């Protein structure tokens, strides 16, 4: 098992750990990485195409994309602790206790905190919270596993 120390990662380093790429990479940087937790952030670009339809007169980042940012942060944490075998990708298998508390708008910065609460074989259980300007936007629990894309 790799033992990560407190550190930060830029976008290029993040992309070495997880398969996500723009336009579906929702992490700009990891600001702190501990053995069982991670803090990351992402700036919400007002020019994202999705704001043309969600909603044109009142643009809001969809909650599912907020959750995706947390999933990606969890994937980075897992990849640093337990480097996957070549070709394996993280796949979310469960989503629980999702609570949306605040809308996320264009131009804001999401601060993402993820904690690994348990590991059973190749199943990872995590808790996450996302805040904007110190206000809770969403909290959730989720599980994921490493999958081999070659398997059906």
Tens digits of per-residue pLDDT, 30-69? 999 999 999 999 999 999 999 999 999 999 999 999 999 9
Query: What domain range is 46 assigned to?
Result: 11-147
Would residue 52 count as lying in a domain? yes
Q: Residues 65, 26: contact at Cβ < 8 Å?
A: yes
d(CA 78, CA 72): 10
Q: Examine residue 6 and state whether it is found in any structural domain, yes or no.
A: no
Domain count, the chain: 1
Q: Are 139 and 101 in contact (CB under 8 A)?
A: yes
User: How much is the CA Rg of the chain, to the nearest whole Å?
Assistant: 15
Let me know if residue 19 belongs to a domain: yes
On whether residue 70 sits in a domain, the answer given is yes
* Residue 36 belongs to some domain of the structure: yes
Does residue 73 form part of some domain? yes
pTM over 0.75? The answer is yes
- Omega within 30 of 0 (cis) for the link into 151: no
- What is the tens place of the pLDDT at every residue in 82-112? 877 777 888 999 999 999 999 999 999 999 9
In this prediction, residue 104 carries a pLDDT of 98
Strand-strand pairing, 89-100 and 109-120: unpaired
Active-site position among 36, 54, 105, 139 = 54
Residues 6+ apart with CB under 8 A from 54: 60, 61, 62
The tokens for 136 are: 């809770």
Are the C-beta atoms of residues 72 and 18 closer than 8 Å to each other?
A: yes
Model confidence band, residue 21 (pLDDT cutoffs 50, 70, 90): very high
In a domain, 2, yes or no: no
- pLDDT in the model for residue 120: 94
- 29 three-state secondary structure: strand
20 is catalytic: no
Distance (Å, whole) CA 8 – CA 92: 24
């Amino acid at each position: 098992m790799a033992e990560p120390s407190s550190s930060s990662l830029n976008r290029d380093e993040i992309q070495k750990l997880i398969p996500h790429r723009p336009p579906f990479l929702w992490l700009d940087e990891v600001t702190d990485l501990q053995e069982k937790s991670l803090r990351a952030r992402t700036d919400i670009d007002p020019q994202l195409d999705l704001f043309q339809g969600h909603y044109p007169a009142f643009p809001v980042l969809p909650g599912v994309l907020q959750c995706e940012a947390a999933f990606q942060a969890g994937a980075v944490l897992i990849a640093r602790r337990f480097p996957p075998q070549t070709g394996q990708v993280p796949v979310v298998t469960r989503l629980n206790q999702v609570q949306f508390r605040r809308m996320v708008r264009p131009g804001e910065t999401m601060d993402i905190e993820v904690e690994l609460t348990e590991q059973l074989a190749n199943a990872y259980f995590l808790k996450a919270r996302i805040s904007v300007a110190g206000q809770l936007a969403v909290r959730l629990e989720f599980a994921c596993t490493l999958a081999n894309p070659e398997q059906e």
